[in-house]
């Protein structure tokens, strides 16, 4: 999906920390059932919030140090970054509306 970004250690700083837009990062792994269940919601958010928020996926198997830096102990984990800083975190498979509510409260 064109507006769903893959991030890892190589592009983390440029795509997430230095982004001119807020970034919602989905920390996931291919073997994680709840992560697979959340994936269609994340893809829908990437479409619906295109232009307002970057939506990215970070595979914790490939980018463990990134996940560890932000205290990701369980997946899926959604972390919203604004101006390079964490502004909100959600743990586990979340209903879409709960994620939207958080985006609206932090982005408007």
pLDDT, tens only, 65-85? 999 999 999 999 999 999 999
pTM above 0.85, yes or no: yes
Q: Which pLDDT score, from 0 to 100, does residue 1 have?
A: 47
Say whether pLDDT at 103 is over 60: yes
Say whether pLDDT at 3 is over 90: no
Least confident of 2-6, 20-24, 54-58: 2-6
Percent of residues, the chain, with pLDDT higher than 90:
94
Catalytic-role residue among 7, 35, 75, 77:
35
Say which DSSP state 70 is in.
T
Look at the chain and report how many structural domains it folds into.
Answer: 1
The Cα-based distances of 25 to 12, 47, 69 in angstroms read 10, 14, 14
- 32 is an active site residue: yes
Q: Which pLDDT score, from 0 to 100, does residue 108 have?
A: 64
- 35 is an active site residue: yes
Catalytic-role residue among 5, 32, 53, 77:
32
Residue 93's domain comprises 4-107
Say whether pLDDT at 2 is over 70: no
Which domain CATH number covers 54? Answer: 3.40.30.10
**What b/e string do you get for 8-27 counting C-beta neighbours within 10 Å, with b at 16 or more?**
eeeebeebbeebeebbbbbb
């Amino acid at each position: 999906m064109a507006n769903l970004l893959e991030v890892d250690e190589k592009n983390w700083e440029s795509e997430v920390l230095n982004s001119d837009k807020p970034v919602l990062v989905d920390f996931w792994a291919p073997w994680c059932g709840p992560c697979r269940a959340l994936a269609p919601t994340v893809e829908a958010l990437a479409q619906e919030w295109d232009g307002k928020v970057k939506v990215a996926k970070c595979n914790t198997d490939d980018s463990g140090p990134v996940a560890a830096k932000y205290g990701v102990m369980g997946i899926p984990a959604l972390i919203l970054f604004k101006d390079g800083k964490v502004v909100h975190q959600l743990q586990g498979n979340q209903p879409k509306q709960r994620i939207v509510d958080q985006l609206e409260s932090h982005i408007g």
